[in-house]
Chain A
Amino acid sequence: MKILICLSNVPDTTTKAKFVNDNTAFDTTGVQWIINPWDELALTRAIELKSDAANSIDNITVITVGGKDAEPTMRKALAIGADDAVRVDAEPKDAYYVAAQIAEYLKSNPFDLIFSGIESADYNGSAVGGMIAEFLNIPSISAVSKMNIENGQVNITREIDGGTEDVTSELPVVSIVQKGIAKEPMIAAMRGIMMARKKPLNVVAPVEIEALTEIVNFELPQAKPACKMIEPENVKELVSLLQNEAKVI
């Protein structure tokens, strides 16, 4: 069985958002790039599954649609334990564009299990995983918090509004993961970092696809008025403000 993990290269979650060129581009100065947290957990779960021989997983591949600057992040995934990596050499334009590239790759390189994260920390689209599945006309399961493999099928627990459901799906399937899929992201060991340099990172050319959306510009949130401080002895005043000023209780 082969596993593909869609890996989004994103700014560290503590990064302050700043923009350049008349607020049309994200300012990457001094930014630390990381594996999108969900994709890191997906990779962790894939490695856990692979370590159980009963699952007979031969290979874990990570794929990123992005420029050469995404490669250090992809190497991190190799160091953690992915077997090889594929970079589709294109600046991602929108989720549809990214998903179309990955789907195109999958058409000539079939995988049994495809992981994506529920949301990328940059554009917050929650879109790529489901889009890949529709391009390939295969099932997708979203908000996955647990996943196991059994008899050529996957057993998944997904979150629904106000609860959970257990779902079984045929393969291939796109599993769109969230909290719970793995406990803690796995960390690269020294040996892994050494090995990562030798693992294959293949660069493939993009196909021509037109994006359906276009970012015009960015805006920073409006500065909030200063917090109104209330004396600790005076909680009654707070409650009265919430009732009469903010009108929220």
Chain B
Amino acid sequence: MSVLVFTENWDGKFKKMSFELVSYASKIAEMLNTQTVVLSIGDVQEDELKKLGNYAADKIVSVNNDKLKNLDNQVYTSVIAEVATKEEATVVIIAQNNMGKALAPRLSVKLKAGLGAGVSKLPASVEPFTIFKKVYSGKAYSNVVIKSDVKILTLAQNSFEFEENVKSPAIENFEATIGDVKTTVSNVQKQTGKILLNDAEIVVSGGRGMKSGEQWAPIEELAELLGAATACSRPVSDEGWRPHEEHTGQTGKIIAPNLYIAAGISGAIQHLAGISSSKCIVAINTDKDAPIFEAADYGIIGDAAKILPDFIEAVKEIK
């Protein structure tokens, strides 16, 4: 028996999400009294693989093959399934990000394993296996029992406090069976030099109350100072004031940073669907009745164009 956790890598490196996954998996392994096995697919050096041991991985299985350079959902799924079967995994943990959302459902069918999508806490019990997940875009939660022998969970990003627990896992290089690749990938474009919205611990976001795309300098400056990513409401990206990848909400990105600063955002329910899991929300808005204040922890009623420069000055003083 084991708990298997799959983590992708980013140009051969792991990131915080990987450690959250391993740490989360190891806690479930503890509940089940079994070991944590990590599967890494792709070209990752041994030094990097060893880092996963810091979060209580007992064993690492590394699968590397030229055919796995690009993500083909079918091929990746069969590799994960093969390793899950080999390791007799009863629980498989994957990230609730683009890759995880692409793979977990396929794996669920392949292993006939019930899927708990987007968990942020440990299961309330393992017998029956009961998870807690968001439904109705964050307007409610549900307790769900997974009835199948094997279970798959996808873990929401930045939702689980990972803990160091150093082990020295064995690393096994495994030759997986690789099927036909039916998709071809070309023209990979990566955002560079920017903190990705999903990775960011702090996000500074602007809405229509910022008045125009030219007014974004204070948002960018504050973000820079705080080491934050920038985001926006949907109309702002629809208007072309900001790039589409910054749009947060029901129909954009769903994020859970430690701090979300919303300037000139009314707090429509569809916007909140993307940000309500933030640990702390600050709202700056001229309208005292704006719904964003119901979701916020701290609020200032006032003109963002005046408040943000003061905010920047105040942050400079403490840095």
Contact = CB atoms under 8 A, between A and B. Distances in A.
A221 B141 contact: yes
A49 B117 CA distance: 32
A13 B137 CA distance: 9
Given A13-B137, A220-B140, A228 B299 contact: yes
A238 B280 CA distance: 12
A158 B186 CA distance: 11
B311 interface: yes
B301 interface: yes
Contacts of A135: 109
A30 interface: no
Interface in A230-249: 230-232, 235-236, 238-243, 246, 248-249
A125 B299 CA distance: 33
Interface string A191-221: 0000000000000000000011111111111
Given A165-B185, A235-B300, A246-B297, A212 B198 contact: no
Interface stretch (B45-53, B55-63, B145-153, B205-213): B145-153
B19 interface: no
Given A14-B269, A163-B189, A219 B141 contact: yes
Contacts of A216: 130, 142-145
Interface of B is mostly: mixed
Contacts of B10: 161-162
Given A168-B184, A243-B318, A131 B140 contact: no
A114 interface: no
A224 B138 CA distance: 14
B244 A179 contact: yes
A249 B315 contact: yes
A142 B98 contact: yes
Contacts of A118: 101
B108 A212 contact: yes
A166 B184 CA distance: 8
A228 B118 CA distance: 30
A133 interface: yes
A218 B140 contact: yes
Contact of A162 (B184, B191, B301, B302): B191
B310 A235 contact: yes
A225 B70 CA distance: 46
B38 interface: no
Contacts of B106: 130-131, 133-134, 140
B145 A179 contact: no
Going nearest first, the 8 A-B pairs with the smallest beta carbon separation are A130-B105, A212-B114, A232-B302, A142-B102, A163-B190, A134-B109, A17-B139, A235-B310
27 contacts: A122-B136, A124-B118, A125-B115, A131-B108, A133-B106, A134-B109, A135-B109, A137-B74, A140-B102, A141-B102, A159-B98, A161-B99, A167-B186, A170-B183, A179-B247, A212-B108, A212-B114, A212-B147, A213-B147, A218-B141, A219-B142, A227-B296, A235-B311, A236-B317, A238-B314, A239-B311, A248-B279
Given A162-B10, A176-B102, A249-B226, 14 more contacts: A17-B136, A17-B140, A19-B140, A133-B74, A139-B74, A161-B8, A162-B190, A166-B185, A166-B186, A168-B183, A213-B144, A228-B299, A232-B300, A235-B311
